[in-house]
Amino acid sequence: MGDDIQLDDDCIFCKIIRGEIPSFKVFEDDASLAFMDINPAAPGHCLVIPKHHAENIFVTPPHASAAAMATISKVAPAVERAVQPGGINIVQANGPAAAQSVFHTHFHIIPRHLDDNLLMNWGLNPGDMDEIGAVAEKIKAELD
């Protein structure tokens, strides 16, 4: 692993990276790891993690996020070919309100089928354009 990789002694995903906990690895490089979720939402459900430990996306360095996205770009098509679902969700949760359960940045690759009853989808409800615009301005101000 590179010098810019940090691991946490108590993190379950860091223990998987170090080989202290077994996993069903599907892809690994110097900066990321993809492995099967042992509590799958659907057959083929994989997790992709940067090897750099960070609690959530808010503190994950850009190089670690980029490494995870590159791996997602390789693994998601392989999942699609292997499982042949009707679609795939890429899910990344931050904090308890978003149902983050392991506090190491990670991405779920979840194969989907019509009427699979997974409840992560939301309906399309038109928003208030003035409110949307105001929030967009607040976000842009935080980027300056």
* DSSP per-residue codes, 27-69: EE-SSEEEEE-SS-SSTT-EEEEESS--SSTTT--HHHHHHHH
Q: Which of 104, 106, 108, 113 is catalytic?
A: 106
108 labelled catalytic: no
Which among 93, 69, 70, 77 has a CA at the least distance from the CA of 44? 77
Q: Which residue has the tokens 């998987």?
A: 16
**Distance in angstroms (rounded) separating the CA atoms of residues 26 and 35:** 5
Name the phi and psi angles at 25, rounded to 5.
Answer: -70, 140
Which among 116, 63, 66 has a CA at the least distance from the CA of 89? 116
Q: Which residue has the tokens 């503190």?
A: 59
The residues annotated as belonging to the active site are 106
